[in-house]
Amino acid sequence: MFNLGDMMGRLKQMQADIGGLRERLEQIRVTERVGGVSATVTGNKRLLDVQIAPELLAEPERLHDELVSAVNRALDAAEARGRDEMAQITQGLPNIPGLDLPR
């Protein structure tokens, strides 16, 4: 039987957990390396650092390709970590139309 009071309590707890999730995501660091470039982002998808091998400076097209790829991979990895964290918070909640909760 559906218990609205129980669900409201769980939603309130989820809201508190999401507040903590934002803080945890800021502490997560994800680094991806492509060729001579590495990019580090937070779990909130903020770029923190880019390292470039000196030999790439003489090859602008390769540098561009590796830089874009490293940053995109790091952002994708950070997004996946965020989805995983959110799925832990929303675990056990019913699928409410329009909320698109991760599973």
Residue 80 domain-assigned (yes or no):
yes
Order the strands of the 37-42 sheet from edge to edge.
Answer: 29-34, 37-42, 47-52
Tell which wins on pLDDT, 99 or 21: 21
- Using CB atoms within 10 Å of the CB of residue 44, give its burial: 0 to 12 exposed, 13 to 18 middle, 19+ buried: middle
Q: What is the pTM of this model?
A: 0.75
pLDDT tens sequence across 45-87 = 999 999 999 999 999 999 999 999 999 999 999 999 988 888 8
- In this prediction, residue 2 carries a pLDDT of 63
Residue 33 domain-assigned (yes or no):
yes
Residue 49 domain-assigned (yes or no):
yes
- In this prediction, residue 43 carries a pLDDT of 93
Whether the CB-CB separation of 37 and 63 falls below 8 Å is answered with yes
Residue 40 domain-assigned (yes or no):
yes
How many other C-beta atoms lie within 10 A of the C-beta of residue 42? 18
What's the structural domain count of the chain? Answer: 1
Residue 80 tokens read as 């996946």
